[in-house]
Structure 1
Amino acid sequence: MFPHSLAELDALKNDCKAMVNKRAGLSAVAAVIPIPGADIGADMTLLLEMLPAINQKFGLSPAQIASLDPQLKKIVLIGITSIGSQLIGQVITKPIILQILSRLGARVASKSVAKFIPILGQALAAGISFGAMKLVGNAHVDDCYKVAKQALLATQKISK
């Protein structure tokens, strides 16, 4: 369900940003584990959980969008298209997550290499992992916020 006011929408954005920070922290912890590939698996799991949860909170999951009034659904779909999001209103799958991680390729690669430098490398890997997860999560929150705000403003104009 869409938020009914800008204040409610702002509160959702803050909640989602807090969720992103928590998941980024978990990603950083996973990056410290000196098992090759464990951090990538953890990041995939975190993203597979976090991205749909953000969509859900903003009322932008595939099921929520499908159940919208046709006029509002059109506004939402145009908003999604205009910002170029591949994550809003979509079922988030492993191939989509792999595509996101491949866009962060240099960071993921440097994180993997850094892990094997004693002490300092693990801290560096944790920092890179935290930053990458936060970057992806916050960008998605911002995109969802823009689409939900467009829909909210359009709904308010229609009801006047």
Structure 2
Amino acid sequence: MFAKKSSEWTLVPSSEKEIGEVRERCRRLVQRRAAVSAGISAVPLPGLDVVTDLRLFATLIDDINREFGLTPEQVGRLQPQLKIRAYEAAISVGGTMVGRYITREVIVKLLQRGAGKLVAKQATRFVPLAGQAASAAIGFFAFRQIGYQHVDACATVARALMPKDGK
């Protein structure tokens, strides 16, 4: 009744092999979510794709952070020196979503970086069928690219937390 999810206790991967395995697992997750996003983008209902992308992306970021052991709760349980290294590594790679609570505002700002793609995606909707396909393709590649960048940022942070030789 009061048990926590077992995934909340995921540890930060401690070897290059473990980081690689988690990275590949997360990249497959990004691919699947990007495909769902693209499928929704093909539906000609204005605004549906944006709302869906926000929701999908928020859960994707949380899932990736959890897989790498980098949710805010998990980072909070690290030893103080490791916590500092985690935040320093996240800042150095521009990982604004690593180890942080993800809010709608953070995701909107992130998606605004790709505003040109979003405008192109919306503009293609005015051309029947071909426009919907183009919109879906743009959405897929933009979602996938942002997701992959987050996976790589988390992998970099996890590498910074790996035990040093001799310690």
Deviation at 1:156, TM superposition (A): 3.0
Output the CA distance in 2 between the equivalents of 1:104 and 1:82.
21
- The alignment status of 1:23 with 2:57, answered yes or no, reads no
Deviation at 1:158, TM superposition (A): 5.6
Output the CA distance in 1 between the equivalents of 2:15 and 2:111.
34
1:39 aligns with one of 35, 44, 49: 49
Q: Is contact 1:34-1:116 (8 Å) kept? A: no
In structure 1, the partner of 2:70 is: 60
Output the CA distance in 2 between the equivalents of 1:88 and 1:21.
19
What is the TM-score normalised by the length of structure 2? 0.91
Same amino acid, percent of matched pairs: 33
2:17 aligns with one of 7, 32, 36: 7
Output the CA distance in 2 between the equivalents of 1:14 and 1:136.
15
Output the CA distance in 2 between the equivalents of 1:137 and 1:84.
14
Cα displacement string for residues 33-88 of structure 1 (whole angstroms, at most 9, x for unaligned residues): 10101000110010110001101111111110010011211211111121122111
Letter in 1 for 2:165: K
Output the CA distance in 2 between the equivalents of 1:53 and 1:59.
10
Output the CA distance in 2 between the equivalents of 1:142 and 1:127.
22
Output the CA distance in 2 between the equivalents of 1:69 and 1:97.
29
In structure 2, the partner of 1:118 is: 128
Q: Is contact 2:14-2:161 (8 Å) kept? A: no
Aligned length: 157
Structure 2: runs of 5 or more not aligned: 1-10
In structure 2, the partner of 1:85 is: 95
What is the TM-score normalised by the length of structure 1? 0.94
Structure 1: runs of 5 or more not aligned: none
Greater shift in the superposed pair: 55-64 or 77-86: 77-86
Output the CA distance in 2 between the equivalents of 1:52 and 1:151.
19
Output the CA distance in 2 between the equivalents of 1:121 and 1:23.
21
Q: Is contact 2:40-2:52 (8 Å) kept? A: yes
Output the CA distance in 2 between the equivalents of 1:3 and 1:112.
40
Output the CA distance in 2 between the equivalents of 1:157 and 1:56.
26
- Bigger share in helix: 1
Runs of 4+ in 1 over 3 A off after TM superposition: none
Cα displacement string for residues 84-112 of structure 1 (whole angstroms, at most 9, x for unaligned residues): 22111110010111111111101111111
